[in-house]
A and B are shown apart, each in its own frame.
Chain A
Amino acid sequence: MALRELSSLEKYLGLKKPNKYTTRGDKKIPVLQSSNGTQLVGLLTIACHLVKEAKRPELLGDSTERRALAQQWLEYRVTRLDGYSKEDVKNILQDLNLHLQDKVYLTGNQFTVADALMYYGVHPLIVDLSIQEKEQYVNVTRWFDHIQHYPGVRHHLPLVVVLRNTIYTGRHH
């Protein structure tokens, strides 16, 4: 999962030659043997490294505030989303829905690598939602649909159908 994600990220960043990854431990933490001989361990570390390699530092946030915010959501991704349980789903979606109420991207109005990695992480949750639930978490759905159509991000993941209009307005269900 994490490896496919990293290779999709590489493609998005336009890196020409794909890196070779291995995994470590039960949780299959990704490991990258970099060209200068050092070992990079963990999804976030490798992702940040790839962004630097592609010379796209703005994807980590172009201001101190945005950098901190991006970092926060990247951490949310690996701490809350990886290995989520069924009971977590509702909380995660509520958190995210509230946060995205007045934002286009996670950090505001600029796409960062946090959007891509959160999209990869949240995808299995969204796939299972009914149309009614998607409407309930309307901000998440809007952000998700935007990211899945963001040029070059989706790659290995199937497109999720999202309705553009609300159909569950009334009390009746």
Chain B
Amino acid sequence: MMKDGVQGATEEEQQAQSKKGLKKQQKEAEKAAKKAEKQAKQAADQQSSEEDDFAKHRYGVSAMVQSQEKLDRTLVQIQDLTPAKADQLVWLRARVHTSRAKGKQCFLVLRQQQFNVQALVAVGDRASKQMVKFAANITKESIVDVEASVRKVELKIESCSQQDVELHIERIFVISQAEPRLPLQLEDAVRPDGEGEEEGRATVNQDTKLDNRVIDLRTTTSQAIFRLQSGVCQLFRDTLTNKGFVEIQTPKIISAASEGGANVFTVSYFKTSAYLAQSPQLYKQMCICADFDKVFCVGPVFRAEDSNTHRHLTEFVGLDIEMAFNYHYHEVIESITDTMVQIFKGLRDNFQTEIQMVNKQYPSEPFKFLEPTLRLEYTEALAMLHEAGVEMGDEEDLSTPNEKLLGRLVKEKYDTDFYVLDKYPLAVRPFYTMPDPNNPKYSNSYDMFMRGEEILSGAQRVHDAQLLTERATHHQIDLEKIKAYIDSFRYGAPPHGGGGIGLERVCMLYLGLHNVRQTSMFPRDPKRLTP
């Protein structure tokens, strides 16, 4: 009975299914027929349109550039498109930033890096209806070659960097086609936080930006940030070279950790293991012992700290300085602060456009500094903090909130975003730091701060092998592992000092940004290894 019932049910089901199936088939057949019809019609349309399209050689998708030919064609830069070029016929290569068709016209915004210009394809004796349609259908971010005449405009084009001219397109060829769906929209990525919220417009969160870094890097903000960063490196090199420094390259695979063993990456090195350098510290000092006198080094630095904060990366670019001095380590401080001031001045004078571009998305106050740079001693700083109601011990290190508060207090009192904090307690510094001759609790070491955040740590180093051994033992460091380092001071070593700066932090704080990932092109942190 039961069995029969079940069988009956399944038969019924089958019948129902086959009925459904039939209907489905029928529908699909109809669909296919319609599709075929449509395709045929389209093909016919295309054929007919191709036949009577007088402008068909003026547009299209170019064959892949495989270096078949050397065209004698000069491509102009968008930033050079000014009223001076009015009524000239020019060729240029650019990205399609946006396109908007409107009846017989199609407006395009063409972009090159941080510059853009408005372009127009209009039906007329140079362009056909089909050409306008083709232009309107070019996907965003595609790269095109365009021949166009430059025309002055009466009303300024506010949305473009070239406000006084527009381009009337005569030919347009797609060189590289972008896929129609972009993982993020460039307009959304440059929208300031909070703006457009009421219109329900999207902003792109940082992880999405970083996941699609190649596209995010095309935004005006990113373009400006990394052009400025390149400027920092160049100003750093130029200033130091002028001061008689020598640029050196140091190994990044090292045998012993330079600043405590906890935060180093271990790499397997044939049958043993090695570490990734936390700083070129030991090598730049050895160069000093080798009579290079003043050296600097720009290169990657690794920290295996598992801290996911706005200002920590596991790999960043270190700008390191080391120099021999005559009698007092303040000679070193002066040299470094002067270098920083030259960088700030260079940025202020030569990178105003880039600073403005970043400010549009991330508003901040202009960076302020004093000349000569303000130098505070640790005890003075503690007194300022104490006055503001902060309780902390004499030999305690500054916590991040206190560091920031101190930055605020200094800004209020001295009106500077850049200052040096000198004479740190010996206990909170690495073993190679020279103790203060007047008070053994303190040391000849210093930090530098921008907008209340640390960018540089430095000190006079111990250049006496015996004292160095003593200090290393005090810090319980295995003497065997740093033997080569200590030995280099046995055969005459000049007094010297130096410091290391994080490039990404300098850029972040100069621009008043809030996350160091914004100033790292492909950031590495405990949670991110790609792209």
Chain A interfacial positions (CB closer than 8 Å to B): 130-131, 160-161, 163, 165-168, 170-173
CA–CA, A166 and B401, complex, Å: 17
Is the Cβ of B389 less than 8 Å from the Cβ of A131?
Answer: yes
- Contacting residues, chain B, for A165 (C-beta < 8 A): 412
CA–CA, A165 and B384, complex, Å: 14
Q: Mark B396-422, 1 if CB is under 8 A from A, else 0.
A: 000001001100110110000000000
Given A131-B405, A165-B412, decide whether A170 and B388 contact each other with a Cβ distance below 8 A.
no
Given A131-B388, A131-B389, decide whether A173 and B404 contact each other with a Cβ distance below 8 A.
yes
Is the Cβ of B389 less than 8 Å from the Cβ of A161?
Answer: yes
Chain A residue with Cβ nearest B409:
A167
Interface size on B, as a range, is 10 to 19
Is the Cβ of B405 less than 8 Å from the Cβ of A171?
Answer: no
Nearest-neighbour CB distance to chain B for A96, whole angstroms, equals 20
Is the Cβ of B412 less than 8 Å from the Cβ of A172?
Answer: no
* B14 in the interface (beta carbon within 8 A): no
Nearest-neighbour CB distance to chain B for A82, whole angstroms, equals 26
Is the Cβ of A167 less than 8 Å from the Cβ of B389?
Answer: no
Which residues of chain B in 429-469 are interfacial with respect to chain A, using CB atoms and an 8 Å cutoff?
Answer: 451
Is the Cβ of B408 less than 8 Å from the Cβ of A171?
Answer: no
CA–CA, A160 and B389, complex, Å: 8
* Given A131-B408, A170-B364, A171-B365: 8 more A-B contacts, CB < 8 Å: A131-B388, A131-B389, A131-B405, A161-B387, A167-B412, A171-B364, A172-B365, A173-B404
- Contacting residues, chain B, for A163 (C-beta < 8 A): 388
CA–CA, A172 and B412, complex, Å: 13
CA–CA, A173 and B405, complex, Å: 9
CA–CA, A165 and B408, complex, Å: 11
- Contacting residues, chain A, for B412 (C-beta < 8 A): 165-167
- Contacting residues, chain B, for A160 (C-beta < 8 A): 389
* B8 in the interface (beta carbon within 8 A): no
Q: Which of the residues B363, B387, B401 comes within 8 Å of A171, measured between beta carbons?
A: B363
- Contacting residues, chain A, for B512 (C-beta < 8 A): 171-172
Nearest-neighbour CB distance to chain A for B319, whole angstroms, equals 23
Given A131-B389, A161-B388, A173-B404, decide whether A167 and B364 contact each other with a Cβ distance below 8 A.
no
Nearest-neighbour CB distance to chain A for B394, whole angstroms, equals 19
CA–CA, A168 and B404, complex, Å: 11
Chain A residue with Cβ nearest B512:
A172
- Contacting residues, chain B, for A167 (C-beta < 8 A): 408-409, 411-412
CA–CA, A161 and B387, complex, Å: 8
CA–CA, A171 and B365, complex, Å: 7
CA–CA, A167 and B404, complex, Å: 11
Chain B residue with Cβ nearest A166:
B412
CA–CA, A166 and B412, complex, Å: 8
Chain A residue with Cβ nearest B410:
A167
16 chain-A/chain-B pairs, Cβ below 8 angstroms: A130-B401, A131-B388, A131-B389, A131-B405, A160-B389, A161-B388, A163-B388, A165-B412, A166-B412, A167-B411, A171-B364, A171-B365, A172-B364, A172-B365, A172-B451, A173-B404
Which residues of chain B in 494-531 are interfacial with respect to chain A, using CB atoms and an 8 Å cutoff?
Answer: 512
CA–CA, A167 and B410, complex, Å: 9
CA–CA, A173 and B512, complex, Å: 9
Nearest-neighbour CB distance to chain A for B398, whole angstroms, equals 15
CA–CA, A163 and B386, complex, Å: 11
Is the Cβ of A168 less than 8 Å from the Cβ of B389?
Answer: no
Chain A residue with Cβ nearest B417:
A172
Chain A residue with Cβ nearest B411:
A167
- Contacting residues, chain A, for B387 (C-beta < 8 A): 161
Chain B residue with Cβ nearest A135:
B408
Chain B residue with Cβ nearest A173:
B404
Nearest-neighbour CB distance to chain B for A40, whole angstroms, equals 38
Chain A residue with Cβ nearest B405:
A131
Chain A residue with Cβ nearest B412:
A167
- Contacting residues, chain A, for B363 (C-beta < 8 A): 171
CA–CA, A130 and B409, complex, Å: 14
Chain A residue with Cβ nearest B389:
A161
CA–CA, A131 and B365, complex, Å: 21
Nearest-neighbour CB distance to chain A for B224, whole angstroms, equals 18
Is the Cβ of B389 less than 8 Å from the Cβ of A170?
Answer: no
CA–CA, A168 and B365, complex, Å: 12
- Contacting residues, chain B, for A161 (C-beta < 8 A): 387-389
Which residues of chain B in 321-373 are interfacial with respect to chain A, using CB atoms and an 8 Å cutoff?
Answer: 363-365
CA–CA, A168 and B387, complex, Å: 17
Chain A residue with Cβ nearest B367:
A172
- Contacting residues, chain B, for A130 (C-beta < 8 A): 401
- Contacting residues, chain B, for A168 (C-beta < 8 A): 408
Nearest-neighbour CB distance to chain A for B84, whole angstroms, equals 39
CA–CA, A163 and B390, complex, Å: 12
CA–CA, A163 and B387, complex, Å: 9
Nearest-neighbour CB distance to chain A for B263, whole angstroms, equals 27
> Which of A130, A131, A168, A172 has the most CB atoms of chain B within a 10 A radius of its CB?
A172
CA–CA, A131 and B407, complex, Å: 13
Nearest-neighbour CB distance to chain A for B386, whole angstroms, equals 9
> Which of B389, B401, B412 has the most CB atoms of chain A within a 10 A radius of its CB?
B389
- Contacting residues, chain B, for A172 (C-beta < 8 A): 364-365, 451, 512
Closest 5 CB pairs of A and B: A161-B389, A167-B408, A167-B412, A170-B365, A172-B512
- Contacting residues, chain B, for A173 (C-beta < 8 A): 404
CA–CA, A163 and B409, complex, Å: 10
Nearest-neighbour CB distance to chain B for A144, whole angstroms, equals 13
CA–CA, A167 and B387, complex, Å: 14
Nearest-neighbour CB distance to chain B for A29, whole angstroms, equals 34
